[in-house]
Structure 1
Amino acid sequence: MQNLRISLVQTTLNWQQPEVNRTRLTELLAPLAGQTDLIVLPEMFTTGFTMSPADLAEPMPGPTLAWMQQQARELGAALCGSVVIEDEGYRNRLLFVTPEGEVHHYDKHHLFRMANEHEYYVAGQTRLVIEYKGWRILPQICYDLRFPVWCRNRDDYDLLLCVANWPAPRRHPWRTLLLARAIENQCYVAGVNRVGEDGKGLDYSGDSLLVDFKGQALLDGPAGEPFIKTGLLNGEDLKQFRSKFPSWQDADAFELTDTPVN
């Protein structure tokens, strides 16, 4: 497993203006050309966390996917983040695009009912592991982070990605859960959150983090400020730690099921 360079993009988002956000991100990402392997954008990075999918949803494929394919090709790095997509209903869909144009997608499973997200979007039912440059990557979206069973490492991933629009009043749980998921799953975790105020008046502090398998922060930028930071994931360090401290071998065996337990 080779080392992996990963760039976290903590940024403001123009409310419900996809073209404006794509144009601005094109300028922000340009210096990363040839400098990284994977670029992570926030949840709903073209619109902000919107409950207006009827007005903003894109088809699959659509303009944002085309933009991501172009950016991945020009920058020489995979690009990921979530977008509002219409596909048998409206989806909060994470797109993962490689420099070769390969596309993977994951639909948010846990919809944030406190914002009535479940009334506007269809929940995804499939847990996805992506293989990229020898790394096994589990994508998650915002509220998914609160559910350890869904995030559980079944000895099938090395890096958990979580993209978010996680409001500032709940920044402590966000930071704590990122560390917890890394420790319990013996994996690297990258959490990317937006900053600024959205069209509903909610404030976002960012607190984007890159965390190692011991729960130690490798990247931790200033709260409330945009930044782009690149960190290095060491595959050999992860392999050695799992070998020396194989707690994953003692994990309880169970399966996800929709059948109620009496």
Structure 2
Amino acid sequence: MNDLKVSLVQTALHWEDAKANRAHFDSLLASVEDVDIIFLPEMFSTGFSMKPEELAEPMGGPTVSWMMAQAAAKSAVIAGSVIILEEGNYFNRLIWAEPNGIVKSYDKRHRFTYAGEDEHYTAGADRPTWELKGWKVRPQVCYDLRFPVWSRNDNDYDLIFYVANWPERRNYPWKTLLRARAIENMACVVGLNRVGEDGNGVAHSGDSVILNALGEPIAEATPHQEEVITAVLSKEELQSTRERFRFLNDRDQFDIKV
């Protein structure tokens, strides 16, 4: 069975400065080798800004192009969210750039109304699942974590990941809900959060983690520190856990309306 090796880049971000952030990630990724997926934070090129009119890029812009180049150079998927302008709408868009030049995307469904995200960004409506090395992968962005129905595993994914700008003052829900999503969905979970203070004075502690299907940590980042953590996810272990604990077989059946 194919294992999946993933790296999480927990870092501070330059506020509303895409060029500086791309240069920063150039440095951070220099030592990352021989992995399958490299995860970057939510809005990694700008920070969690409510100024899409000034900061948005098209899909063919410099940040997505940079992700494609990094994916090719590292022979790994690069995944992180970017402010994108498309057909007159602004999206908090998760970009999944593959080494072969294919780019897939997921638009954040749940906009953080507490910060006014709903006033600036259009909500997504799709729940894509992508395949890599025999793993089915479900993308999510930050605030999506609070909505278990949207994260529901209908036996159609193996790994769910959340890239975030989750404030330190609410890090208890962050840590708790990540474990809940793993346990209830019998899936591996990646939760990547930034560190440092943003341009609005909001502090972030990181608390990035990789969890197995029982909600147990496989790897954890040091809070408040810039670092890259890497772990190998075992498909054999995941299937063994699911065969031993057949909780997904007892799930309720319902449809999600968007």
Q: If the TM-score is normalised by the length of the shorter chain, which range does it land in?
A: over 0.9
State the Cα distance separating 1:242 from its structure 2 match.
0.8
Task: Report deviation, 1:257.
Answer: 2.0
Matches within 5 A, 1:220-231: 220-231=220-231
Q: Which residue of 2 aligns with 1:87?
A: 86
| Pair 1:217-2:217 in alignment | yes
Which sections of structure 2, spanning at least 5 residues, go unmatched? Answer: none
Determine the C-alpha separation between the residues in 1 that align with 2:203 and 2:143. 17
Is 1:166 aligned with 2:189?
no
- Residue 11 in 1 paired to residue 3 in 2? no
Corresponding residue number in structure 1 for 2:126: 126
Match of 1:205 in 2: 205
Bigger Cα displacement from structure 2, 76-85 vs 217-226: 217-226
In structure 2, the partner of 1:68 is 67
The letter of the residue matching 1:11 is T
- 1:21-60 mapped onto 2 (5 Å cutoff): 21-33=21-33, 35-60=34-59
What is the distance in 2 between the residues matched to 1:233 and 1:135? 10
Superposition pairs for residues 132-151 of structure 1, below 5 Å?
132-151=132-151
Output the amino acid matched with 2:148: P
TM-aligned CA deviation for residue 60 of structure 1: 1.4
Deviations 1:34-73 (A, max 9, x none): x211100000000000000000000112111110011011
Superposition RMSD in Å: 0.8
Provide the rounded CA distance (Å) in 2 between the counterparts of 1:62 and 1:130: 23
For residues 28 and 223 of structure 1, the distance between their equivalents in structure 2, rounded to whole angstroms, comes to 17
> Counterpart of 1:233?
233
**TM-score w.r.t. structure 1 length?**
0.97
For structure 1, the residue ranges without an aligned partner over 5 or more in a row are none
What is the one-letter code of the residue matched to 2:54?
D
Number of the residue aligned with 1:101: 101
SS of the equivalent of 1:149 reads coil
**TM-score scaled by structure 2?**
0.98
Deviations 1:178-203 (A, max 9, x none): 00000000000000000000000000
Question: For 1:172-223, what per-residue CA distance to the aligned partner results, in whole angstroms no more than 9, with x for missing partners?
Answer: 0000000000000000000000000000000000000101001101111211
The 1-side partners of 2:59 and 2:68 are apart by: 13
- Give the whole-Å Cα distance in 1 for the aligned partners of 2:241 and 2:231: 19
Looking at structure 1, the residues matched to 243 and 152 of structure 2 have their Cα atoms a distance apart, in angstroms, of 19
Deviations 1:125-145 (A, max 9, x none): 011111111111000000000
Secondary structure of 1:44's counterpart equals coil
Please list the CA deviations of residues 102-159 of structure 1 after superposition, one character each: whole Å capped at 9, or x if unmatched. 1110000000000010000000001111111111100000000000000000110000
